[in-house]
Amino acid sequence: MTAEPLPSIPDPVTLDLGYSFCPNDTFIFYALSHGKAPSPLPVSELLEDVQTLNDWAVQARLPMTKISYRAYFSVMKDYVALRSGGALGRGVGPLVVAREQLGDLNGKTVISPGALTTAELLLRIVYPQVNIVRARYDEVMPAVTRGELNGQRVDAGLIIHESRFTYPAHGLVKLLDLGAWWEGETGLPLPLGAILVRRGLPAAAQWALNEAVRASLEYAWANPQEPKSYIRQHALEMSDEVMQAHIDLYVNSFSADVGDEGERAVQELYRRAVAAGAVEESGLPLFVEPA
C-alpha cells in the first residue's frame, strides 16, 4: 500500500531525520535514508551524538528524531514515539566503570554522557547522592582512565553504546550493570532510545512514518551486507566485530515493534522518572497508533 503524502510538512518535500552514529541506528535507517524502503517522503538524514539529538528535541528542531527515552519524557508535548525503530532489550543497559572496584557510589563523582540520557536517570535512581559531571559519550572512558575531566577528579564513568564492549581495553572494570539492575527490579526489558515524530502531524502521517521505519529495518535484515559500508563510515574507530556485536545486541524484535511488553517497560520507566521528580506527569499517549 502506498502511503499518502504528509500534508503538514511544507516544501522542500524532504523530511529531516536525526539519528546517531551508532551501528544500530545506521543499520535501521540505511534503507530509509537511501531510498531503498517505501516512505511517505524522501528523507534527509542528520547524524549526531545522542545528547545533541536530545538537546535538539528540547528545541523541537527536527520533525523526526532518535532520542533517549528519558529525554522523550521531557518533550512529550511536542513529540510522540513511533512503535518501530527504537532500542529496548535485555542485556543492553549502560554500565558504570572505574579504574578499580569502588563501594557505594553515593558521594562519588561519576561522568555521565548527558543529563537527558536514560543512563543518567537510572544512575540517579540507584544512587541519589552521586555527584555527576558530563562529557560526550566517547570522551567518558578516556577521562575515567586519566582520573580527571577538565582538571576535576572523577571516580567512575557511565558508559553507553559500543563502550560496553570495549571498556576492558581501557584498563577499566565494571562496577554496575544498570540494565541488569533494571531487569532485576522490574522483570522488564530496558527502554533506551525511541524514534519520535512531531505530535502535531496527522495520525495518518505518523503511522505512515512508523511503517516506513519498520520497512527500513526489514530491508536491512533481508540484506545485511548492503548497509555495512554506510555503518562503517559512521562507526568511529570500532572494529568490525564490535560493530556487528552492537547491531546484534541493540537491534531486536522490539526494534520492529515495541509490543505490549516493551510498552509496559516504557510506562514503568516513565512512572519512575515522575516519582524521582525528573519529569512532570502528562496524560498524553506514549506511542503512535494505527490511523
Question: Given this structure, which CATH class describes domain 95-186?
Answer: alpha beta
Fold designation for 15-89+189-275 = D-Maltodextrin-Binding Protein; domain 2 (3.40.190)
Q: pLDDT band for position 45 (50/70/90)?
A: very high
Residues 88-99 have pLDDT tens digits of: 999 888 999 999
CA–CA separation, 291 and 82 (whole Å): 13
Supply the DSSP symbol for 184: H
| 8 pLDDT higher than 60 | no
**Does residue 161 carry a catalytic annotation?**
yes
Nearest alpha-carbon partner for 243 in 258, 257, 230: 230
Q: Which of 43-57, 99-113, 141-155, 228-242 has the lowest mean pLDDT?
A: 228-242
Cell triple for residue 171?
Answer: 584498563
Residues 209-245 have pLDDT tens digits of: 999 999 999 999 999 999 999 999 988 767 888 888 8
The structure's pTM equals 0.87
Contact 80, 196 (CB under 8 A): yes
pLDDT of 7? 43
Helix (H, G, I), strand (E, B) or coil at 44: strand
pLDDT of 12? 44
Cell triple for residue 261?
Answer: 511488553
Write out the residue limits of the CATH 3.40.190.10 domain(s) in the chain. Answer: 15-89+189-275, 95-186
Mean pLDDT of 21-50: 92
pLDDT of 14? 82
Q: Which of 16-30, 154-168, 180-194, 248-262 has the lowest mean pLDDT?
A: 154-168
